[in-house]
Amino acid sequence: MRNIFIILTICVVSISCATTQITYIINPGLSERGYGRILIAAPFYDLELKKDFEEEFARDFYSIKVDAFTSLDLFPPYKNYNEKEINETLDEYEIDGILVVALTESFTTEKFVPDYLSVSSSKIIHRGSYFVKKPNMKFNIRLYDRKSGEAAWVASSLTKGNAWAESHTLADSLAKVAVDTLQKEQLLLLSRTR
């Protein structure tokens, strides 16, 4: 029984996927600046979603040797912080950029799968019709320059998952595309400590 569960888990994980389309603009006044110590803030009320998205972005930044910190780690939500405490923490971690990943819309699309017959060797199998639901999420993403307070990079995105996709699958797709785009546009600096 345990082996069946493991096999099913591997199958579902390997077939869950998502794609992300992103549109962005770069602030020409800050285009020469790079960011190497980034705070990631995903303002979700749902802590599981917040954790999924912030950690996925942190992993992707880390994989290209850019230091990144989640807001959950630096500013745990069990406490209120005043401006002085926030700035002291940002100074302590030498944060130069703040990436805000804000969900603007979440919806599902449905696809109808009609009845069909499957014929094999000696069997005829009738499958009834059903609906497949696919998750979709739209985001507004901004990379703020901590020194000026201006947005250095602004993006909007649409991430579409297949019927097996969960929040971490969507987070993985969005983070990969966003971080790759920031790297391609040379807005990131390599870590000084790794």
Q: What is the pLDDT of residues 35-73, one digit of tens each?
A: 999 999 999 999 999 999 999 999 999 999 999 999 999
Look up the pTM and report it: 0.83
- Please indicate, yes or no, if residue 107 is contained in any of the structural domains: yes
CB atoms within 10 A of CB 68: 25
C-alpha to C-alpha distance for 187 and 179, rounded to whole angstroms: 10
pLDDT of residue 132: 82
Query: Helices 47-63 and 167-184 sit at what angle, rounded to 10 degrees?
Result: 40
Asked if residue 57 is part of any domain, the answer here is: yes
Give a yes or no: residue 7 inside a domain: no
Residue 191 is assigned to a structural domain of this protein: no
Q: Tell whether 1 is covered by a domain.
A: no
Q: What is the number of domains present in the chain?
A: 1
pLDDT in tens, 172-186: 999 999 999 999 999
Q: DSSP letter at 46? A: S
CATH of the domain at 130: 3.40.50.10610
Q: Which domain holds residue 59?
A: 18-184
Q: What pLDDT is attached to residue 130?
A: 78
Inside any domain, residue 4 = no
pLDDT digits (tens, 9 = 90+) for 5-36: 444 444 444 577 999 999 999 999 987 789 99
At 47 the three-state DSSP class reads helix
Residue 11 lies in a domain: no
Give pLDDT tens digits for 107-150: 988 888 777 767 766 677 767 777 888 999 999 999 999 999 99
User: Considering the domain boundaries, does residue 10 fall inside one?
Assistant: no
